[in-house]
Amino acid sequence: MKTFYLRELAHAREHFRGIVKGCITCYELPKVHAINLVMEGALGGGVTRSLSLDPHGKSYSALILTMPVEVPEDIAAELMLKGRRPI
């Protein structure tokens, strides 16, 4: 796994500290310049067993969007050529 993704994985662990009780696994999706983070133990046993007000974890998807991500220069340049601009 690339150093970039390892750094973001460590950042995600800190961002979700106190929420994720298990490990976080990072899967690289190179064709779309993305990663998939699987966070174990975040839903309190799953949808049917959780006492959480948000048993599906929908609010966690919004929370991860608040996490700043550093994009390597080469990937940023490639995305800019495809018309995608940083926010």
Other CB atoms within a 10 A radius of the CB of residue 8 amount to 19
Other CB atoms within a 10 A radius of the CB of residue 47 amount to 11
Domain count for the chain, please give it: 1
User: Per-residue confidence at 33, pLDDT binned at 50, 70, 90?
Assistant: confident
Digit-coded pLDDT (tens) for 55-69: 456 677 788 888 887
> Model-level pTM?
0.64
Residue 87 lies in a domain: no
Residue 75 lies in a domain: yes
Q: In a 3-state reduction of DSSP, which class is residue 54?
A: coil
Digit-coded pLDDT (tens) for 10-30: 888 888 888 888 888 888 888
Range(s) of the domain holding residue 30: 3-81
